[in-house]
Amino acid sequence: MLLVELGMFLLLIFGLVYIFTNKQFQPTFLFSSVFFLLSFFVGVNAITFKNNINKQKHYTSASLFLEQKPFLVSMRIEKVLKPNLYNAKYEAEVFQIENTDVIGKILLNIQLDTIKRVLEVDDVLVVKTEFKTINEPLNPYSFNYNSYLKHQQIHHQISLKSNQFLKLPKNQLSLKGFASKIRGNINSALVNNGFKNDELAVINALILGQRNSITTDLLESYVGAGAIHILAVSGLHVGIILLLLTFLCKPLHYFKNGKLIATVFIVLLLWMYAIIAGLSASVVRAVSMFTALTVGMQLVQRSSIYNTLVISLFFLLMFNPFYLFEVGFQLSYLAVFSIVWIQPKLYHLWKPAYWLPDKLWQLFTVSIAAQLGVLPLSLFYFHQFPGLFFLSNLILIPFLGFIIVSGILTLVLAVFDVLPGNFRDAYIFIIETMNGFVDWVANQEAFLIQDISFSLQLMLVIYLFIFLFFKWIEKKIFYRFILVLLAFICIQVVLVFEKFTAQTNNEFVVFNKSKSSLIGIRVGRSLLLNSPDSLKLNDYALKSYVIGSGVSKNFQIINRNLFKFKNEVILVVDSLGLYNFKSIKPSIVILQNSPKINLERLLKKIKPTLIVADGSNYVSLVMQWEKTCVKNKTPFHSTMQKGAFILK
């Protein structure tokens, strides 16, 4: 309530300042300041009220949930997610716990070897279970799936087998369920017409916005070629569809109010497409952006493209402020803003005399502008740079309009079962050729720079430099040039500070690896690794640590059971169970590979200050060891429960 009252007060002040400013016929610093404060509190209110966990009806507020025991849960499938090797995954809305009506989304996991068929959107399930928290990352610098799901308003998960839930008849068909049914019918029609495997997966991603069926290898090829945006329905795809609809609706302009009718028709068709594509965040933001652009194009006084972008951004964030935390949302708006602002400046550097070089130069500058806008953010999130991105875009984007329009025609003809065989074969050949070209580009490993350590601070100062540099290009005045130099100095300061930090940090890390052991000793930028297994940099836990910490990729492998780090003596007790040494008094004991020892005897003999059990041990043994340590008042750390053990 305090936020609402403060927001209303600021709105009143803003109104008074606006009236005063209008009388003076010029904006004032007071007006700008009050408007900024009002916008800030509108954002705070939006994210507070849109957060379901703050609502009284959320399942976490239910008294039964607080008892932490199995209870009867009724839920409705809202979204089919991409499965992993072990589970089919779904996003579900909980609407009842026992007899209490609730709200709230959860992650539903169903074992793949037990499920008979894939569940669909709007399927209603009843299950007796308890909710489990979503684990924090168990290794340093690993992807935080817990945080990612919280931004999707998912705070808990349920893991089931197919015989542990009851599926009820569907009692309603939601908008998402209707869209899912349409996509299902389209996919059935495509399969009946001979589409399968990668071709079917690419059509689903390219036109219907569904990437669940794309193989990991194919996805990595598009990422490595810098062409992943082609597989995500975004502004590029919706822009092409908008151009097609504008062309088709051109004849309506010759009738009375035809321009208005065409605009309404185009906007309705864009939103119908968004619904069929699953109303994903990328589709919604793209359609919202082009809806604002379409309406702006019909105004007597054309609005600024920057105003159009800001209006679409504002209403999207009012509708769902959690979009702000989505990587795709950030990349999309940065790319569009960069194209609008930077591309004209790059284009005017050279004026080709002929039509074809001019078009290629336009396309090249668009690609460079977009890449400049998203590069720092991409390096921060993905830690790689596709050096041949411009080649992928120069070759693929000119044909993308044809590919999308042909794809839409293919879908329509397939649904009505009138798709000619020659047309189908030609389209499959086009998709195969595109996939083959992307795979070839991605395999030019000399041009793919991977495993780049890139911090948040470095990203921010580079964006500051890019912004100030192009502001100076706009108007070359002295004080802007000084600001560019200061931003460049800031980049150097951040790089020097990070290098100093990397060279002075020392750590002893016991990683969590399922059924395996890995110990890392970091001394500055050098890394020593102790593991019974052969190690490569593509090991997920190791790769994340190397990139996040900035240590050298050329690590050294050692094989020992005794370490001295700072003032600690660390003993590794492996499957041999050896620990009784007269000349050694370890302060920390690491248990690996389920050693057959009497832990209580070890504690009395050595009297360590800490016991650490890694992921190579049997779970049942770890539970017994924990009880023994609690009984003997010795601290116990299981990497399977608490994550990697890190000694600074």
pLDDT at position 611, please? 92
Under DSSP, is residue 75 helix (H, G, I), strand (E, B) or coil?
A: strand
The residue-averaged pLDDT of 211-220 equals 82
State which fold the 59-172 domain adopts: OB fold (Dihydrolipoamide Acetyltransferase, E2P) (2.40.50)
**Pick the residue with more confidence: 615 or 22?**
615
Q: Which residue has the tokens 């369920």?
A: 177
**Pick the residue with more confidence: 100 or 507?**
507
- Tokens standing for residue 470: 């192009």
pLDDT at position 637, please? 94
Residue 28 in this model has a pLDDT that exceeds 70: no
**Over pLDDT 70: what percentage of the chain?**
91
Angle between helices 305-319 and 281-298 (to 10 degrees): 140
pLDDT at position 457, please? 93
pLDDT at position 42, please? 76
The residue-averaged pLDDT of 145-174 equals 85
Question: Which amino acid appears at position 479 of this protein?
Answer: Y
Query: With bands split at pLDDT 50, 70 and 90, how would you rate the model's confidence at 7?
Result: low
Under DSSP, is residue 612 helix (H, G, I), strand (E, B) or coil?
A: strand
Nearest to 203 by CA among 397, 442, 437, 427: 427
Tens digits of residue pLDDT in 264-307: 888 888 888 888 877 777 777 778 777 877 776 665 455 677 77
Q: Which residues contact 418 (CB under 8 A, 6 or more apart)?
A: none
Q: Which of 32-46, 446-460, 541-555, 634-648 has the lowest mean pLDDT?
A: 32-46
CATH 1.10.1060.10 applies to domain 506-647: no
Tens digits of residue pLDDT in 410-457: 888 888 888 888 988 898 898 888 888 888 888 887 777 888 888 999
Query: With bands split at pLDDT 50, 70 and 90, how would you rate the model's confidence at 228?
Result: confident
Under DSSP, is residue 435 helix (H, G, I), strand (E, B) or coil?
A: helix
**Over pLDDT 90: what percentage of the chain?**
16
Residue 575 in this model has a pLDDT that exceeds 60: yes
DSSP string covering 507-530: EEEE--BTTB--EEEEETTEEEEE
Tens digits of residue pLDDT in 441-498: 888 877 778 888 889 999 999 999 999 999 998 888 999 999 999 999 999 999 999 9
The residue-averaged pLDDT of 387-415 equals 82
Q: What is the pTM of this model?
A: 0.82
Question: Which amino acid appears at position 358 of this protein?
Answer: D
Q: Which of 1-15, 131-145, 527-541, 556-570 has the lowest mean pLDDT?
A: 1-15
Measured distance CA(20)–CA(26) in Å, rounded: 10
Average pLDDT, the chain: 83
CATH fold match for the domains 59-172 and 506-647: no
Q: Provide the residue ranges of all domains of the chain, joining segments of one domain with +.
A: 2-50, 59-172, 232-325, 456-503, 506-647
